[in-house]
Amino acid sequence: MSQAIPFTKGHGTGNDFVVISDPDGVLDLTADQVAALCDRHFGIGADGILRVVRSSAIADGAAAHAAGAEWFMDYRNADGSLAEMCGNGTRVFARYLVEAGLATIEEVPVPIGTRAGVVTLARSELGYEVDLGPWRIEDGETLVRAKGLGVPRPGLGVNVGNPHIVVALPHDEELDGLDLAYRPLLDPEPEHGANVEFVVPSDPLIHDGMGEIRMRVFERGVGETLSCGTGVAAAALAIAVHRALDQPHAV
């Protein structure tokens, strides 16, 4: 028996999502159903699904509910797999809550539950912004192979609520020459996979107090996307660590 499910399509800097409102947690979408909805040829088409559910109505939201976060962002990658966090997704999630009359974020920041913990959404002069919370550099080094890269390159593991491997490249030509229709190979492969960012810092890195980098990203469970909010943060942090320089407050 088929079921009609209302949805909204949203995007954050080109990172696009299918948003499904399920406040009471009655929907039980399988991985195959999520993948079908995200399929760009036979489905709606998206990088992932954002299910809007009350923290009290989903098992993964118990800690968020206890911390005072009414809403939980149940994010699923385009292949149907569960994801801890999505930076652009939280901003789209916030906009949806406001448009649907489910929350007010104009003056007071709103806590949102995710599988990476509770994050805080706020208004800014540019729209909506999220505090990703604590981050860490992972131990060890990962060797990254990618089509068009020529030789494998070392990558730095950065966790900003979800896992990333950041590869610094020397020039734009190498970045533009990557074929990210193919998944980069990681050695060792992280237990739960990782998003991979290929980054070229500008030379000089800082212009008028602003850091500048170029980035392409292969998102775990999705493929190459136009943007990745947590990936942008991970890339900026990795370059800061790699360069070991006094960094600007904005990149």
Catalytic residues: 86, 228
The CA distances from residue 135 to 74, 100, 151, in Å, are 21, 31, 29
Is residue 61 within 8 Å of residue 113, measured between CB atoms?
yes
Cα separation of 131 and 63, whole Å?
A: 18
For residue 92, give the nearest of 50, 133, 131 by alpha carbon: 50
Q: Provide the CA 2 distance to its chain's centre, in angstroms.
A: 31
Partners of residue 117 on adjacent β-strands: 114
Cα separation of 52 and 71, whole Å?
A: 7
Identity at 195, one-letter amino acid code: N
133 CB-contact burial (10 Å; exposed 0-12 / middle 13-18 / buried 19+)? middle
| Angle of the 229-243 helix axis to the 87-99 helix axis, nearest 10 | 140
Token digits for 227?
């943007």
Helix (H) or strand (E) holding 100: none
